[in-house]
Structure 1
Amino acid sequence: MFTEYDDVITLSDMMEILAIGRNKAYDLLRSGQIKSFKIGKAYRIPKSCIEEYILARVK
């Protein structure tokens, strides 16, 4: 899934994958719905965490 992206993605990549805006992206990260870590001031998101988030919402 998402083979064109690196294993650790940026906030912009996450926004593109999920087709969401910046505010929603920050909400998901701050609430812990999508796990991430920060390097300096920039969020980095393991691609596997995006996949987990998506799969958890499948009915």
Structure 2
Amino acid sequence: MRGGHLAEAKLLTVPEVMAALRLGRWKVYDLIRSGELESVTVGRARRVPADALDRFISQLREDAA
């Protein structure tokens, strides 16, 4: 995200999620389609709530433990 304010954003773009997770576009959209990663539509734009990204990462950690 521009200016390094990723933690301050409430809604993240797919490219921001890609950067945060270090995953490709198709994988991020697969996670969204499968319901593993929550997203919302704002007009025609797809956004991922920052807290949904945090929950997804927490779930990955729990699954790995």
TM class, shorter-length:
0.7 to 0.9
Percent identity over the alignment is 32
Structure 2 unpaired stretches of 5+: none
The count of residues paired between Structure 1 and Structure 2 equals 57
Residues 1:24 and 2:33 aligned together? no
Q: TM-score, normalised by structure 1?
A: 0.87
Unaligned runs of 5+ in 1: none
Moved over 2 A (4+): none
Larger radius of gyration: 2
Q: Partners in 2 of 1:42 and 1:7 — Cα distance?
A: 14
Give RMSD over aligned pairs: 1.3
Indicate the structure whose relative CO is greater, using CA pairs within 8 Å and at least 6 residues apart.
1
More helix by share: 2
